[in-house]
A and B are shown apart, each in its own frame.
Chain A
Amino acid sequence: MPPAPPVNFRLNGQPIEVSAEPARILLDLLRDDLHLTGSKRGCDLGTCGCCTVLVDGRPTLSCLTLAHLVDGREVTTIEGVSPPRGLTPLQRAFVDVGATQCGFCTPGFVVTATALLRDRPHPSRDEIVRAISGNLCRCTGYVKIVEAIERAAAEGG
């Protein structure tokens, strides 16, 4: 078998070259090969949003993205969103208002909301709800997730 072709991209700010089979899925590459386990596997169908990462800054479902499609692009995972020490104001708000319960969906929500607040620092409630409509949460009824994003926005998130 020929060696798997290389993929070159920036991952959480660092250039990286990995080899990946043509059909390799980005989520598998991140979790299984690069041991970045913050992105979660919830459905493998692009329905739950637990695997959301940023590709060139846009929230992207890594379970529906071929690894080779990020060649030459910038990928940011929850590990890249998180500062080396402490939490971002958005993460702090998630903790303080209780927007995590089981926490399995949380990285996806944080990644999605990080992009939202970057583009729309003061989103309306409707804009928040629309932005997170691709992420499923079964624990919170979304109430405290929306509240956390609102709080982070109010505090200049």
Chain B
Amino acid sequence: MATSPAPDYRLIGGRIPYVEGPLKVTGRAEYTDDLNRPGQLVGRLLRSPWPHARLRSIDVRAARALPGVHAVLTGDKYPIPFGVLPITHDETAIAVDKARYIGDIIAAVAAQDERTAERALALVRCEIEMLPEYADPRDGVGKVPEPIHARGLNGSNIQKEVVQHFGDVDAAFARAAHTVRVKGTFAGVTHAFTEPMATIAEATPDGRLTVWSATQVPHYLHRALAEVLGIPMHRIRVIKPEVGGGFGGKSDPLPHEIVCAALAIETGRPVKILFDREDVFYTNHGRHPTQNDIRIAVDAGGQILAYDIAATIDGGAWSSFGTVTTYYNGVLSMGPYRVPNFRYHGRRVYTTKPPNGAMRAHGGTNLRYSIEVGLDRLAETLGTDPFDLRDRNALPPNSTTVNQFRITSTSFRACLAAAREKSGWDAKFRRLPYGRGIGLGCGFYISGSNSPIHFTPVMPQSTVHLKVDMDGGIAVHSMQADIGQGSNTLLAVIVAEVLGVDLARVHVQRVDSDVSPVDLGSYSSRVTFMMGNAARDAARQLLARLLGAASELTGRAVEDLAVGPERYFSRTDPSVGVSFEEALRKAMEESGALVASGAYRSPKMGGSFKGARAGTAPAYSFAAYVAEVEVDAETGVYSVPHVWAAFDCGRALNRLAVEGQIEGSIHMGLGQVMGETMNYRGTRLMNPSLLDYKIPTPQQMPKVDILLVGEDDPEGPFGAKEAGEGPLIATLPAVGNALYDAVGVRFTDLPITPDKVLKGIDQRTKEGRPWKGA
């Protein structure tokens, strides 16, 4: 098994409890809704009850006249479009001219209290013209009578179309020994974080605007506020309190955040907008409902010759990250196997439903399910064990994919070996009794998007500032966003490790754009890799100053000095040394507090064709999961009692956090494969509550065996890669393939609910097919 030799780290690789844990277990951690400003007003949003409607006029006079109402806003006041991607600005803070989904914001009010705000909203009168609604993306691929957005391709509702072809797919299929085709259908799912969105904004007489918001990407919010409100960024201050989960759902700059700021400017008073759970569901930005159609060609020996992939992706009403989503649904098939020929046709189509966007393992999940089911079928056709088939096709380390992704470290084969051995695969596969089954699914994900969303100005993707003063405490500033994944802890660990000091000396500061240097935030599994490298860079600069001072004090050359714990000492004579504080005071004699700024920018990579940057990353994670299922063939109800999760995140820097990410990912993946659904009747969301949108309960969680087998990545901080999103992907196909092993039915319509299991079993019985293999 591939494990790197353990260098002599004090903290790295240990089980480090989260630094803010004591605040969270006592209820003392401060989330946005826990904060209040003096004189604060309540902001409320009026949401469209129509899926698609032209707003002929909106009469807010009665609402404005209501005592206790301080402002009523409609879309005409701040019509500048925005969106997370600069190339697809198609959102507005409040609907202008048209409402595009049930839940779209059409007016906003700031009032003295909730009741007054609600009454004011009820007084708003709209004159509208109903427009055609579009529930199914397939209905929007041609010219439509009323495109949802003017920017739809050739009068259609297509937001983005991607056509890519590398190698010669038709020739590869012509010479293939076997081919397989899987058509997958995937319902939309949503993040279901526990903290509803909340924003507070305050415009002060000094001409500044301060915004506190539950966001994963404070920097993109900062930019969007400046663009839409027409205020220079340096007059805006964005603060990120604790965030109660995001999973992608808080990564777009969201309309309500801009509305809140606009209301604060309008009223001169602080304004808070707090979402209820329905607001959260209508805001959505969850995983796209998707139909994909994938064909795989292999030779007689099971070597993959080609992929031919098509995907129709339901975008909902806005672009959001959709252009990226469209690329990812093709190009994230480029690992963990070598694919010499590749063709992709992806379309993301607007519908008049709540917008879809980035959700954990964005773009890589639905695609992967269909591929892994296809490989399972091919293994059966070939009479090959599914592990052997995958092992034979593993992408080698230090290689380049056909679309020019740069692959550096991969321990994928070690993942396969570990999962196979620990799960007892060879004794179980196709050998368990009817109703019990075991399945393999694999995964591949980016460890940080190589291309920043904004190209101007050219700047590092991550910057970390350190300041250490005479108190011996080290303040860490960065705009990275801890949303529960443990990035604050990781910052502290890296700084303490490099400087050789106690973790308790390191204080990670709350994100505040006035003092935190820009980091692009928590998305694309970029934080450990990019922020980690920036933190290490900053800490090494400080260490150089401290070692210089220690050298002066001890008379030993810097090269002779070793680091920590809490002191710098001679390697040749360990009795000669100085404490960290002695070195610090010496180093501060001339300059006062020591400061350092570290940064990370990923190397140039990728091809030069259109869309070449999508999916490029400085490293990739790999996974091989085995799931066991138990099916009640009478009812179709099934459980997943055990998952073996072999994962390559390079070196795990904080095992506690890596395990937490994998366990949480499995929970979320099981939710999608077993039952979670954004349930639409036409364009109306039928289940906008946590009662009707069911996430797995503790009873449904399997026993999880985590197998970390990664080798050090050459460019990751201390050899680390991501573990935040990649761990979700393999969960779904592992369960799907295990269900086939259990009852002999292939499921390609997710979620796989008990009724579908039962129907599948009935169908198989009717066709007289045996339940296992052959």
Contacts of A146 in B (CB 8 A): 698
Q: Which of A94-124 contact B (CB under 8 A)?
A: 94-98, 100-107, 110
Contacts of B483 in A (CB 8 A): 102
- Evaluate contact between B22 and A40: CB separation under 8 angstroms: no
Contacts of B26 in A (CB 8 A): 38, 78-79, 82, 87, 91, 107
- Evaluate contact between A95 and B22: CB separation under 8 angstroms: yes
Q: In this complex, which of B20, B242, B690 has the most chain A Cβ atoms within 10 angstroms of its Cβ?
A: B690
- Evaluate contact between B277 and A44: CB separation under 8 angstroms: yes
Contacts of A91 in B (CB 8 A): 22, 25-26
- Evaluate contact between A98 and B15: CB separation under 8 angstroms: yes
A139, B661: Cα distance in complex, Å: 8
* A112 → chain B closest CB, angstroms: 11
Q: In this complex, which of A39, A97, A130 has the most chain B Cβ atoms within 10 angstroms of its Cβ?
A: A97
Contact of A40 among B195, B668, B695 (CB under 8 A): B195
B501 CB–A CB distance under 8 Å: no
A61, B704: Cα distance in complex, Å: 30
- Evaluate contact between B701 and A142: CB separation under 8 angstroms: yes
A139, B690: Cα distance in complex, Å: 15
Q: Mark B227-265, 1 if CB is under 8 A from A, else 0.
A: 000000000000000111111000000000000000000
Q: Which of B10-33 contact A (CB under 8 A)?
A: 15, 17-18, 20-31, 33
* B492 → chain A closest CB, angstroms: 15
Q: Which of A123-141 contact B (CB under 8 A)?
A: 129-130, 132-133, 136-141
A58 CB–B CB distance under 8 Å: no
- Evaluate contact between B191 and A138: CB separation under 8 angstroms: yes
A42 CB–B CB distance under 8 Å: yes
We find that the number of chain B residues with CB closer than 8 angstroms to chain A is 56
A42, B695: Cα distance in complex, Å: 14
* A61 → chain B closest CB, angstroms: 12
B340 CB–A CB distance under 8 Å: no
- Evaluate contact between A98 and B244: CB separation under 8 angstroms: no
Contact of A103 among B246, B484, B664, B668 (CB under 8 A): B484
* A35 → chain B closest CB, angstroms: 8
* B224 → chain A closest CB, angstroms: 23
A60, B245: Cα distance in complex, Å: 24
A26 CB–B CB distance under 8 Å: no
- Evaluate contact between A50 and B194: CB separation under 8 angstroms: yes
Q: Mark A45-85, 1 if CB is under 8 A from B, else 0.
A: 10110100000000000000000000000000111001000
Closest residue to A37 on the B side, CB-wise?
B34
A40, B559: Cα distance in complex, Å: 53
* A52 → chain B closest CB, angstroms: 11
Contact of B484 among A45, A77, A101 (CB under 8 A): A101
- Evaluate contact between B195 and A42: CB separation under 8 angstroms: yes
* B511 → chain A closest CB, angstroms: 15
Contact of B704 among A79, A94, A100, A143 (CB under 8 A): A143
Known contacts A102-B483, A139-B664, A141-B663; A129 and B15 CB within 8 A of each other: no
A47, B196: Cα distance in complex, Å: 13
B193 CB–A CB distance under 8 Å: yes
- Evaluate contact between B27 and A77: CB separation under 8 angstroms: yes
- B residues neighboring A (CB under 8 Å): 15, 17-18, 20-31, 33-34, 191-196, 242-247, 274, 276-277, 483-486, 656-657, 659-660, 663-668, 689-691, 695-699, 701, 704
A98-B15, A103-B29 known; 16 other A-B pairs, CB under 8 Å? A40-B27, A42-B277, A45-B690, A95-B18, A98-B659, A101-B484, A102-B245, A102-B484, A106-B25, A110-B25, A129-B698, A129-B699, A133-B697, A133-B699, A141-B664, A144-B660
In the A-B complex, the 3 residue pairs with the smallest Cβ-Cβ separation, listed nearest first, are: A38-B27, A102-B484, A104-B244
User: 25 A-B pairs, CB-CB below 8 angstroms?
Assistant: A31-B33, A39-B27, A40-B244, A41-B274, A42-B194, A42-B195, A43-B690, A43-B691, A44-B276, A45-B690, A79-B26, A95-B21, A97-B17, A97-B656, A98-B21, A100-B25, A102-B246, A102-B484, A103-B244, A107-B25, A129-B698, A136-B690, A138-B247, A138-B664, A141-B663
